[in-house]
Chain A
Amino acid sequence: DIQMTHSPSSLSASVGDRLTITCRASQSISRYLNWYQQKPGEAPKLLIYAASSLQSGVPSRFSGSGSGTDFTLTISSLQPEDFATYYCQQSYITPWTFGQGTKVEIK
């Protein structure tokens, strides 16, 4: 199975900060990488697919980049509603696997 590893696993940030979260795959997955946001008690929500494509309705402050094994999710200016846990997920091969998540907390 392909292992997905987030760094950091958690971080504290302030409203207005620029934030970058990293996800690394255990083998090359081309651009078969998706990002999700999950708030406590809620289902995950798709933010980015194919490494850098913004899902419809997702604010443009979210962006993704990368290919191969290294990927990043960037939030250009953190908003109060962005405090959540973020997961990367590979769809290169089954079993589809998720990273352990990066929890973004308020500083």
Chain B
Amino acid sequence: AQKVTQAQTEISVVEKEDVTLDCVYETRDTTYYLFWYKQPPSGELVFLIRRNSFDEQNEISGRYSWNFQKSTSSFNFTITASQVVDSAVYFCALSDPILTGGGNKLTFGTGTQLKVEL
């Protein structure tokens, strides 16, 4: 079975601090996809990144960066110089197409509530 663990329930930081959100996943397959979504207080889910299991290159997008390590089954998300607007719940998710017969079911972690204060 597939599983996503986000052990950090809530993180509070002061603006301009760097913060890393942890994500650990479990899957028996070699082909899978990992995602991060942001859910601001308004409630919608905003797509941030997709990574496939064959691409272990780290990615940077502005203040956001992602560290994918297959050896530890982790896909961590770092926000550099955090801002108040980054306050949201962040979800890590896993798609295992083999397990779902070719579909794209997302298994979500429980989310990490990030609070950025002035």
Partners in one complex: no
